[in-house]
A = this chain, B = another copy of it.
């Protein structure tokens, strides 16, 4: 049984890839979709209007950050995360498990859950499946993610199996704690490391429990693009065709393109925002470091092909100046451009799937990308 008012309508397919519309309590999302990351109730260095202007329809929030500051109870009393940060569309929140493992200290995992120390003030916390869901209930998340253990890479088949089985027991507890509301969804997360059989088993376990969407977890953790594509490709056929599939934490443009070709509908990644803050711009011809002196006299816009003020209205020379001067506006403009670039990529992917030309699109993109850089002046 899944949530009413939350559904994926697949409109066209091209190979394993699908294009569709995800209907939620807080608006419709065209898929394949890329969700900019709004870690601590803000997509860093952007206003929500600016995020929406790029075409982004859904964003991601991090439970780990929000539970520590400003706190789930506080956000609930302020009307939920969407109201708190003034984002009109749907929000997906992760469970906090990934950040506990990557950011916090003194972690300990038991059957009950995971205990950890806050990276902010050293305070002790426990995240259980029930608590992870309760926090997301309080945040009012459009899509809630189950708490899982992100199996490290590398892991033996035994380690990956034990970890996956723990995640599946947690998945069931998460389902029990989830507060159903129309148009809100709970997603399961397939684990199993790089082992196709374990992935298949995990998918079956989750389908038995019943979720509104299915994520692939434990990828993009060092296994490399080839293995990631392989696991995605063998896992998606085990997932229901009428439910959204979400590849967590991915990725670079070519990662996204390859994953879409393998049937993934949803993505999130800090790359466009984080890179923007360090002067790195994504273009069809690879990434460009705007800090580099060769841009200092370049009057051309960053990338006229991207429909965004930051990409078209300012010279590379100006962006170079801002980045070299550590001006906040430099971070604002490059973040804006990068998020717009990612959204444009998703538009291209959706158009290509509709036209049945996804492989051509992917090959053309890859050829341009491998040129490695925009043309020098």
* Distance, CA A277 to CA B50, complexed state (A): 20
User: B78 to A299, Cβ gap below 8 A?
Assistant: yes
Among A186-194, A236-244, A319-327, the stretch in contact with B = A319-327
Q: Does A357 contact B (CB under 8 A)?
A: no
Chain B neighbourhood of A86, CB < 8 A:
313-314, 318
Chain B's closest residue to A330 (CB) is B42
Task: Write the A292-335 contact mask toward B (1 if CB under 8 angstroms, else 0).
Answer: 00001101000000000100011101101110110111011100
Q: Does A365 contact B (CB under 8 A)?
A: no
Q: Does A370 contact B (CB under 8 A)?
A: no
* Distance, CA A133 to CA B104, complexed state (A): 56
Q: With A69-B325, A74-B296, A329-B44 in contact, do A317 and B49 touch (Cβ < 8 Å)?
A: no
Closest CB of chain B to A317's CB: distance in Å?
Answer: 5
Chain B neighbourhood of A44, CB < 8 A:
327-329
Which residues from chain A sit less than 8 Å from chain B, CB to CB? Answer: 40-42, 44-47, 49, 69-70, 74, 77-79, 84-86, 277, 296-297, 299, 309, 313-315, 317-318, 320-322, 324-325, 327-329, 331-333
User: A315 to B84, Cβ gap below 8 A?
Assistant: yes
Q: With A40-B325, A325-B40 in contact, do A297 and B74 touch (Cβ < 8 Å)?
A: yes
* Distance, CA A264 to CA B335, complexed state (A): 40
User: B321 to A41, Cβ gap below 8 A?
Assistant: yes
User: A78 to B309, Cβ gap below 8 A?
Assistant: no
Q: With A70-B321, A324-B69, A325-B69 in contact, do A297 and B332 touch (Cβ < 8 Å)?
A: no
